Amino acid sequence: MNAASSTSRILLAPWQQLDPATRWPRRLIWACALVGTIVIVALTQRVSLRLAVAAGLADLLLQFLWVMLASSLTEQNHPTLARLAPGHRQQLLRVTMGGWLTVSGLGTLLLWAGLPPLPFSLATLWLVHSALGVYLFWAVRQWQLWLLSWLLPSLFFSLNLGHRLQPLWQSLAQLWQGQPVLCGLLAAALLATLLAHGLGRGDARHRANYELFTRMRRAMRGQRGGPSTGFAAWGRPGEWLTAPVERAMAFWLHRSLTSATPARASVMRRAEIVLHGSQHWLRQGLTVLLILAFVGLCLGVAGMLAGPHFGKNWKSGAFGMAIGLMSMGINPAFMLPAMLWHSRREQALLRLLPGMPQGKSLNRAVARLQLRHTLTAWLLCTTGLVVLALAADHVETLALGVAALPVCVAWPLSAPACMRAPGSYSATVPIGLYIVLMVGVLWLNQSDGVPMLAMAAVSLALSIAAGVWRWRRLLAAPTALPAGRLG
């Protein structure tokens, strides 16, 4: 196989590794992104701003393609091939370097041509863009870097690090101005070295990192509706952090089994452990508490270090915190139906439990489990949104909860017996519907001045109507379990 053929195979691998069943959802997403880009650019009034928006969106697309290529290259960099296949790592390294230079070069030129005059040189912009590419390449395999990308901006502004590190920035600027060529070459060499070290050589460390990457990929697929692989996929930190959650789940399972009776409440309590799996309310609730405790600890430390600057800075990030909070609130709405699919093999045995409802009674019982979980999550997170909106004086954050209610009511009330294997559709449709509703609520509130309370009333009425309609269809559907047998 010649070099050109090998390179083309490596470059085509990201597209060949995609699931064929998700072809049309992907096309729909790309079409919506294209139409949205055209609309945003067309609605921009000034020509200079229009060019800046177009350049920024084009560069964002380049970064997305680079992340796809980086993930594929990491998957192709198998330890056995790196150790035994002659020239395999070298070919991957050439493609990696070529892709990095191409993306960073094109992105730099796009930003330089589209943005207003920048206070630094083209070479500086290229170095910053190249450093971002190296960071994304490593972040594909190291989940800790994604965590840092969420925490560092908040800590940077909360701790007023821009002012505290000003002497360091000035020293680096003076060094760059004194020796621009030497500093640029050293920085480029350092970035290239870091990028090259991202490809393993087939040793024990490479094998361990590749196994961690594989488990991470399986865990991410599980979050999109696949079977859970547990927190071991995230390494020892994940196991250590979630050890209390696992002990609590073991205690709940032991208690449910030792106190089992033929009563419906006892039967459905045991069935819920199987039906909801990793999305069980106890596991999810304790995980959310751990996340909130960690965020609270970070905010507390930032508040102590930042002093009087903290109040203003955290309020400016209130909408971002609201997005994270409501993401946890809406997650059960589209994850619980997927969990029914992945526990379908055990559901035939569940129906043999003494006291298990049958027929329409089973449909009602399963639907109540789904609704109880989703509406409880929505109510708790919306309460948090209200507190956040009052504390930060950002009423628009309530739009996240107002838009989520119809989705949390309607989507879980699907007929389990007729469901199909979860894929991109099962996650894309509810998320897309939620985004459309959220943008509509924000638009009406900000542009037309419609009160948030009035839109909350409309959302409640719409949710009740959709819930009643879906509930009647659910009762007329075939027996819920086993799920997916008629799909």
Cis before 451? omega within 30: no
Cβ neighbours of 215 (radius 10 Å): 17
Are residues 125 and 108 in contact, defined by beta-carbon separation less than 8 angstroms?
A: yes
Q: How far apart are CA 382 and CA 378, in angstroms?
A: 6
Which residue from 321, 5, 309 is spatially nearest to 162, judged by alpha carbons?
309
The predicted pLDDT at position 155 comes to: 62
Sign of CA dihedral 194, 199, 204, 208: positive
Q: How far apart are CA 208 and CA 216, in angstroms?
A: 12
The predicted pLDDT at position 212 comes to: 76
The predicted pLDDT at position 309 comes to: 61
The model's pTM: 0.69
The predicted pLDDT at position 17 comes to: 67
Cis before 337? omega within 30: no
DSSP secondary structure code for residue 179 in this structure = S
Q: How far apart are CA 375 and CA 398, in angstroms?
A: 16
Q: How far apart are CA 432 and CA 159, in angstroms?
A: 35
Which residue from 224, 56, 231, 76 is spatially nearest to 140, judged by alpha carbons?
76
Specify the 3-state DSSP secondary structure of 280.
coil
Specify the 3-state DSSP secondary structure of 381.
helix
> Rounded to the nearest 10 degrees, what angle do helices 424-446 and 23-43 cross at?
20
Give, for all 487 residues of the chain, the pLDDT tens digit. Answer: 566 677 777 777 777 766 665 666 666 667 766 776 677 667 666 777 778 878 888 888 888 889 888 888 888 888 888 888 888 888 888 989 999 999 999 999 988 888 888 777 888 889 989 999 999 998 887 777 776 776 666 666 656 666 677 777 778 777 777 777 888 888 889 999 999 888 888 888 888 888 878 777 766 655 544 444 555 555 666 677 778 888 999 999 999 999 999 999 999 999 999 999 888 999 888 888 888 887 777 777 766 666 666 666 666 667 777 888 888 888 888 888 888 888 888 898 888 889 999 988 999 999 999 999 999 999 999 998 998 888 888 888 888 999 999 999 998 998 888 888 776 566 677 887 888 888 888 888 877 788 889 999 999 999 999 999 999 999 899 998 888 888 6
Are residues 458 and 379 in contact, defined by beta-carbon separation less than 8 angstroms?
A: no
